[in-house]
Amino acid sequence: MYTKKIEEDLNCGVRVAMKVFGGKWKCCILDAISQGISRPADISRVITDASPRVIEMHLAELLFFCAVEKDTDEVYPKRSEYRLTALGRTILPVIAHLEEWGQTNMEFVKDRQAVLDERMVIGMHAEMD
Amino acid sequence: MYTKKIEEDLNCGVRVAMKVFGGKWKCCILDAISQGISRPADISRVITDASPRVIEMHLAELLFFCAVEKDTDEVYPKRSEYRLTALGRTILPVIAHLEEWGQTNMEFVKDRQAVLDERMVIGMHAEMD
DNA sequence: CCCGATACCGAATCTTTTTTCGGTTATTGC
DNA sequence: GCAATAACCGAAAAAAGATTCGGTATCGGG
């Protein structure tokens, strides 16, 4: 985990939520675990865009904030199983809400992003609209 | 806006949502605008922790993705008013959901964070739990 | 005529987050 | 005995994002 230089304000609900499940891949990880994909190696195989390292780090943070719990077989080959806690399960509907908004507006956002990408290639003339 | 080096995947709803309102202060800005605080200078006065510059940049992005619309008086002193678009209004319930989760779990998350902060001061001995 | 207000932009600098890469431990399969 | 697997950690490097600072423009008050 990181040591922050700038004091963070956890008096805002949105910030608190982002603290717990705001990492780049945390929603994907929680989603995978909720589907029964419980071992780190399996999660890595499902979320191929994320490096195994970041999945480890995110799992450690989710564990620390008690969104997931771990159960490790200490004999080798080590096998860990991650499961959602009661707290973790309360996050799922919030993620579902985010996911729904994103799915609804995906095409529009992609289109706008394409405009932006094009501008970067050409050289950023023209206005923002 | 920033030029990304790593190609981002906008096929995930959560990522799409975070793209549009995932900046550090975007939820606060949308909330302020929804309450009728429409001018940049006023938003800055309300969100004192954010620099005016980042508010400008976030407003530009919200504008680009059509979450807000702008209406500028081109005579000096320039006065701009930002309002939520129909799209922007659809974000509010999602933010409310995030905010609610955060409020519900604020004390718990703060407590865990305190454990982490303490560890940083002392020097990071001990396990993660 | 300078100072403050308003809006906004560019660029350097910092902080935070993610990625990459190498390592540890110990078992199983060849 | 060597490679593959599993989980995980540390540290450097890269990328993303936020902040700071200075600048533009123009009006109005003192």
Q: How confident is the model at residue A126 (pLDDT cuts 50, 70, 90)?
A: very low
Let me know whether B12 and B52 are in one domain: yes
Q: Are A123 and A84 within one domain?
A: no
Give B-chain residues touching A9 at CB under 8 angstroms.
49
pLDDT in tens, B78-116: 789 999 999 999 999 999 999 999 999 999 999 999 998
Question: Do B50 and B98 fall into the same domain?
Answer: no
Whether residue A129 is predicted with pLDDT greater than 60 in this model: the reply is no
Residue B4 neighbours by CB under 8 Å, 6+ apart: none
User: Which one-letter DSSP state was computed for residue A4?
Assistant: P
pLDDT 10s digits, B22-41: 999 999 999 999 999 999 99
Dist. CA B7–CA B94, nearest whole Å: 26
User: CA–CA separation, B92 vs A101, rounded Å?
Assistant: 11
- In chain B, how many domains are there? 2
Residues B44, B47, B49, B51: is their CA dihedral positive or negative? negative
* Distances, alpha carbon B27 to alpha carbons A13, A85, B21, in Å: 11, 27, 6
Does A19 contact B113 at a Cβ distance shorter than 8 Å? yes
Cβ–Cβ below 8 Å for A12 and B28: yes
The answer to whether B41 and B56 have CB atoms below 8 angstroms apart is: no
**pTM value?**
0.86
Determine, for residues A100 and B1 on separate chains, whether the beta-carbon distance falls below 8 Å.
no
> In terms of residue numbers, what domain contains B55?
1-88
Q: What residues of A are in contact with residue B128 (Cβ under 8 Å)?
A: 60, 63-64
Do A10 and A59 belong together in one domain? yes
